[in-house]
Amino acid sequence: GAVVSQHPSRVICKSGTSVKIECRSLDFQATTMFWYRQFPKQSLMLMATSNEGSKATYEQGVEKDKFLINHASLTLSTLTVTSAHPEDSSFYICSARVPLGLAGESSGANVLTFGAGSRLTVL
Amino acid sequence: QKEVEQNSGPLSVPEGAIASLNCTYSDRGSQSFFWYRQYSGKSPELIMFIYSNGDKEDGRFTAQLNKASQYVSLLIRDSQPSDSATYLCAAEDGGAQKLVFGQGTRLTINP
């Protein structure tokens, strides 16, 4: 259980265009999802926390008008990179909290399960 | 700034030996800690999580937590070439309900 599906896995686009990435929780409801970005040989950087039915919470330094997040349902969050530029090329990964019970033991730990990631290349 | 520190490596271990990965964290309020494995070009996958002081074992993996020293470790016994990956340590920022990741340790198991 606790599978997060992310699409597309790879996308190549021209500079100035917009790209949408979808993240779905397949067998559980996710009121909160997290969007990360990872540059080569670097760690995960949290971009924003996506909250179902409300505005996303962005980390310091992340442009909310450039990285639009929509969490319209309990199973779907989308990240749209608007007017993409080559410096936006990166590996984008979404994640969701695994509900208690699906994490393998009862605890209060906020276990995250990750989508497969989307590699964006902006030409 | 809440931080999680790891040695970036690379750490090379011969096949069959024990690999030891270490992590320290700055936030004394953190209660839960996680180890993720990430293969090149892939997303992270959970190995273990721990929230009580002491050891927690799962197969070949043992997580160790020492809250007084703010130290978390992961031991991999009988290391296999398939264990070669980057291992990410994460601590829960309880106040913000999110995970803070370390920079990861690249582990190579040599046949």
Provide the residue type at A117 as one letter: G
pLDDT attached to residue A109: 60
Q: Kindly determine whether residue A112 and residue B34, on different chains, have CB atoms separated by under 8 Å.
A: yes
Provide the residue type at B10 as one letter: P
Q: Tell me how far apart the alpha carbons of residues A92 and A85 are, in angstroms, rounded to a whole number.
A: 15
Q: Kindly determine whether residue B42 and residue A116, on different chains, have CB atoms separated by under 8 Å.
A: yes
Max intra-chain CA distance, chain B: 44
Q: Kindly determine whether residue B98 and residue A49, on different chains, have CB atoms separated by under 8 Å.
A: yes
CA atoms within 13 Å, Cβ hemisphere of A44: 31
* For residue B95, pLDDT beyond 60: yes
Predicted confidence (pLDDT) per residue in A87-101, tens digit: 999 999 999 988 766
Rounded to the nearest angstrom, the gap between the alpha carbon of residue A92 and the centroid of all alpha carbons in its chain is 6
Residue written as tokens 């997040």? A69
Pick from B39, B43, B49, B92 the residue to mutate for testing the A interface (most A CBs within 10 Å). Answer: B43
Q: Kindly determine whether residue B49 and residue A109, on different chains, have CB atoms separated by under 8 Å.
A: yes
Structure tokens at B42: 């892939």
**Mean residue pLDDT across chain A:** 90
- Who among B44, B98, B104 is closest to A114 (CB)? B44
Chain A residues inside the 8 Å CB shell of B99? 34, 46, 110, 112
- Who among A34, A110, A116 is closest to B43 (CB)? A116
Q: What is the 3-state secondary structure (H, E, C) of B25-43?
A: ECCCCCCCEEEEEECCCCC
Q: Tell me how far apart the alpha carbons of residues B20 and A123 are, in angstroms, rounded to a whole number.
A: 41
Q: Tell me how far apart the alpha carbons of residues B72 and B44 are, in angstroms, rounded to a whole number.
A: 18
Predicted confidence (pLDDT) per residue in A9-37, tens digit: 999 999 999 999 999 999 888 889 999 99
Residue written as tokens 């992340």? A62
Q: Tell me how far apart the alpha carbons of residues A104 and A117 are, in angstroms, rounded to a whole number.
A: 24
Nearest-CA distance B15 → chain A (Å): 24
Share of chain B above pLDDT 70, in %: 97
